[in-house]
Amino acid sequence: MKNKRIVLITGASSGMGKQTAQYLASCGFIVYATTRTPNKLDDIKQDNLIPIKIDLTTQESINNTIQTIIKNHKKIDILINNAGYGLVSTVEDVTEEQMYDQFNINVFGVLRVSKAVIPIMRKQKSGLIINISSFLGKIGLPLLTLYNSSKYALEGITDSLRYELKDFNIRVHSIMPGFFDTKFVRDNLQINQNTFSQNSPYKHIVSSLVPTIVEQINNGNNSIEVAKLILDIIEDKNFKARVTAGDKAKKFIPIKKELSDEDFERRVREYYTI
């Protein structure tokens, strides 16, 4: 097992994270599937998939997890920053706690794990970091301002780290999924109650946009598409910096590049009737 590549993936208890962990393990990688709830991986019977508890809000928990991996294998070849959740709230309604919590996982969690893994990869003079972002890291939508901005931040992290780590033979990539058929709506979507109140001045946006988004997620692409894309990035050292996944991402990202900001905004308004 010494020559097998070691993968650390966050947010591996469901959806894209769980699918990717299983897929890479089936391809022969040793996968450390980290999550707050490792018991959710009890149904997986793969010797080279190792569930491990982690708390992305504390550097101590992250460091302890990584020390366990290094003790067992002396290296980490691939880091997949997948953990995250979405907050549905207007800026007017969002609380200080909700603002911080959204960035604490989606942005600061990525930075904490990367901060701990980068020195290991730098010393081994090789490594790969894949950030699971979103097409909403390039496209804004109402009610998702905090989620959008956290994913915009992740895209900036990806761009900067590509420069910062190139001399150490560490590749950094971003995957921007669209809407996928995962448990995201049930498990990873949080709402602000004031925004969803019948007395909210934004209730017309909520009633027109939210059901459409939920339907598109529930009828979205299969997560195996992202898992296979991750394997493609691992195997191709010349893979492009970022790539889209899923129908909505492949539809909207190219259009955004072609149109002015104002024209693209009009197109989105028409599409979502907002």
- Quick check: 30 and 73 in contact, CB under 8 A? yes
- Quick check: 227 and 23 in contact, CB under 8 A? yes
No. of helices (H) and no. of strands (E), the chain: 10, 9
How far, in Å, CA of 241 to CA of 265, rounded?
Answer: 26
* b/e code 136-160 from CB counts within 10 Å (16+ = b): bbbbeebbbbbbbbbbbbbbebbee
Place of tokens 């989105």: 268
Instruction: Please list the active-site residues.
Output: 13, 133, 147, 151
- Quick check: 188 and 17 in contact, CB under 8 A? no
